[in-house]
Structure 1
């Protein structure tokens, strides 16, 4: 683990906070540390955490913002995952993952499993074997506690937007499952800006299921709120009355390679 002073730690927190557009919630970074189980300093498990996190940190910038890795043998195996927002560039992605690892290791210093949602990326490590399926725990929510002036119009427009973004995200390929968009609502043509993303190794079915549950959670907790985020380990939804994403994304995906035998082409590559 990289050693940092308390001043450096607080500066990292401040940098995470200063990246917000006006009008958005300012809840990042969000941590989840499994406090029921701890590991011993300088143990094999700690070494494996550092190895797995270093691996995803070095790979995420060249893998379109997603990387997973494992280190060690049972019972000390560690799995790690890093996922960056689909609209940011590789340098911002790498910086976010690197800084988030420092914050995560400082905040959840001896926990067997831990997760951080930062503004631009998600990083987690666990003693559980990684598999590309969606998990609803741990999760997090953020909201502005400010309601739209016309909740009915807002809700209808938001549901329409969410349906479109969910389908687009789930229909992505093995490099990126991500969508953004906006919609007008009300007589004054107010706007809702939305973003949805899944880990790209989720199947289309699991991505769609994960985003459906996440959006349902957003509606249950925060109906009418103009700025909401609900985050699961492998998918999330965010929406706001203020634009908060890059359009188009800072990094374009490669074009599919033409094949003379379409029936044998690999889907999503």
Structure 2
């Protein structure tokens, strides 16, 4: 897959945070009939009830031709309480925002939820995604990009270790007062080699769309990558007062 995307750029003017019921974005496709819609509701109920226990579930409901496949996953560093709250919001919002679609997905900071009449389990999906980039740029891009590349190599290596279940996170000091934080995660249905490939594609957007920016996140259906100059993953040293108002958003078709 190439990175020659046609993208739509605009300022993200919403004021929201990770705990908000407002998602980072959603994708809706393919109409559904009444039987499929009923199966989606039953599938979502299962995703909501079972995801918090393990942070992940991939399952299905119904039989052909009305079978629906679903996946839900929380970010690997969040608590089961935050996971549960996020998945509940996701299940509610995806039905409101994609009311008549049988192929839908929704992204939050703390979780991701998806369903489709196609069995997508175990497949890399980087065809639809969302990118947020900080509007500010770093003052020493050469040093910053070198440190960012080194840190991402480290956390990608973490993510493809079986025991880490697709999650990698870390930080590195850029100066006395500045620290770079980064996190990557794949959905747990991916094989490790596919996880590595997905993360490489996602991080490839940094050079093209987030070059020299102070922060960037790329959200695909199969993986997620993010870096910031403030702590955003748990355990937090302090809770930053950040919003999406200082970011530029891109749709990655």
TM norm structure 1: 0.77
**SS across alignment from 2:85:** helix
**Structure with bigger gyration radius:** 1
Shift of 1:189: 5.5
1:202 aligns with 2:203: no
Structure 1's unaligned 5+ residue stretches are 1-13, 21-26, 249-269
Q: Return the match for 2:210 from 205, 213, 222.
A: 222
Partner of 1:18: 17
Partner of 2:139: 149
C-alpha separation in 2, matches of 1:157 and 1:190: 12
Alignment of 1:40-51 (within 5 A): 40=33, 43-51=34-42
* Larger CA deviation: 227-236 vs 126-135: 126-135
**SS across alignment from 1:137:** coil
Q: Is the 8 A contact 2:71 2:115 kept in 1?
A: yes
Shift of 1:75: 2.0
1:167 aligns with 2:157: yes
C-alpha separation in 1, matches of 2:182 and 2:40: 34
Shift of 1:184: 2.1
Partner of 1:122: 112
Q: Is the 8 A contact 1:165 1:179 kept in 2?
A: yes
Q: Is the 8 A contact 2:24 2:107 kept in 1?
A: yes
Q: Deviations over 1:105-161 (max 9, x none)?
A: 101111121111112000011111132122112211111121111111111110000
Partner of 2:26: 31
Partner of 1:82: 72
**SS across alignment from 2:31:** coil
**SS across alignment from 1:239:** strand
State the aligned residue count. Answer: 221
C-alpha separation in 2, matches of 1:189 and 1:165: 22
Q: Return the match for 1:181 from 167, 170, 176.
A: 170
Structure 1 or 2: larger strand share?
A: 2
Shift of 1:190: 2.2
Runs of 4+ in 1 over 4 A off after TM superposition: none
TM norm structure 2: 0.82
C-alpha separation in 2, matches of 1:19 and 1:113: 24
1:239 aligns with 2:234: no
Query: Structure with the greater relative contact order (CA < 8 A, sep ≥ 6): 1 or 2?
Result: 2
**SS across alignment from 1:18:** coil
Over the aligned positions, Cα root-mean-square deviation in angstroms equals 2.0
Partner of 1:57: 48
Q: Is the 8 A contact 2:23 2:90 kept in 1?
A: no
